[in-house]
Structure 1
Amino acid sequence: MNKLKTLYLTGYRSFEVGVFKDKDPKIQVIKKVLKEALRYYAENGLEWVLTSGNLGVELWGAEVVSELKSDFPDLNLGIIFPFSEFGSQWNETNQAKLQMVKQLADYVNSTSHQPYKAPDQLRNHTSFLLEHSNGTLMVYDKEFPGKPKFFVEAAEKFSENSPYLIHLITMDDLQNSIETF
């Protein structure tokens, strides 16, 4: 595989891992594991980390990328929403989190420039991310299905015909990380 230049970062939404408060210790564990993985990729030439701006792993990961920029000034954060007005239906607190992460990003856009209308927008978004990244870093465990299941299935299918890294951080990985925290 060519050097990993662009990585799509995704994973569980906050509610899928039982996180309902900003001070939940699970967030620190997830961020620690993400930071270790992203540091490894950045040391090996990673230039861009893309997310879709979902609450949970994606926003926490965006914060981690921002923290890593002090050590890796050439590391960039891109947020590619699946449609315009993404997050506009969220409560004020969550909209503020999204706004803060947008300010950390080096690039913000959406694959569809219309508000959500149909599932095709989500499929097109997945295709775009697969075609514009060399791999994915996901906090996802197949034993605990959730929304990221759709992306991991698409990535596995995509990787049958194209070199595409799929790096899953499982529940065991998170558990093992707690023991070394």
Structure 2
Amino acid sequence: MVKVLAISGYKPFEIGIFKKDDPSALFIKAALKKELMPMVEAGLEWVLISGQLGTELWAAEVVFDLQVEFPDLKLAIITPFLDQEASWNEANKEWYASILARADFIESVTKRGYEKPWQFRLKNQFFIEKSEGLLLLYDPETEGSPKYLYELAIEYQNKQSYQIQLITFYDLQMIVEEEQMKLSDFSGM
């Protein structure tokens, strides 16, 4: 049973999403919830994210929704460096601030602003070592920023027990079809 789960995945622009409330985000959140629900029911206690735009902030919103039914579920945001949102647009800064305001724990791996890419590598290492599993929105056939975390997790898994769960584009397509079936069943009443 996983008690601490790291969640990450594509940034929105990597998958063609340019607004936080894009309809595609609803399907990503549904996929995250579908994977999280059995883990939460089995005793998942903490979800770790780094607060990146896209998958991670949508995951935070899913955690907040689940906290209504599972108030013991906690969200930790461990950023790679301080003020990671400094260059983001106003709408994204507001979204991020609203997530931070509801998080149960907030910290930075490096206690300074952005300097070099090593800070992201250090954050990935921290996430793998501090969690018992990884839920990653990533399709190995479509490279993007999650590749580095995925490769590190595979390397780590080869040495010890570590759970890796991918949500691929095929999984998302299945969610889209499930949601469309629900809508057509509902409208056919």
State the TM-score, normalizing by the size of structure 1.
Answer: 0.96
2: CA distance, partners of 1:162 / 1:97: 36
Report the residue type matching 2:32 in the other structure: L
How many residues were matched structurally?
Answer: 179
Q: 1:140: how far off?
A: 0.6
- Report % sequence identity: 43
Corresponding residue for 1:28?
26
Deviations 1:117-162 (A, max 9, x none): 1222222111111110001001110011100000000000011111
Give the counterpart of 2:97 among 95, 99, 102: 99
Corresponding residue for 1:150?
148
Corresponding residue for 2:15?
17
Q: 1:23: how far off?
A: 3.4
Corresponding residue for 1:46?
44
Q: 1:180: how far off?
A: 0.7
Q: 1:104: how far off?
A: 1.6
1: CA distance, partners of 2:11 / 2:61: 15
Structure 2: which 5+ residue stretches go unaligned?
Answer: 180-189
The more displaced of 73-82 and 110-119 is 110-119
Structure 1: which 5+ residue stretches go unaligned?
Answer: none
The more displaced of 115-124 and 142-151 is 115-124
Report the residue type matching 1:136 in the other structure: L
Bigger CA radius of gyration: 2
Decide which structure has greater helix share: 2
1: CA distance, partners of 2:21 / 2:54: 13
Q: 1:36: how far off?
A: 1.2
Corresponding residue for 1:72?
70
2: CA distance, partners of 1:96 / 1:72: 26
Give the counterpart of 2:109 among 84, 107, 111: 111
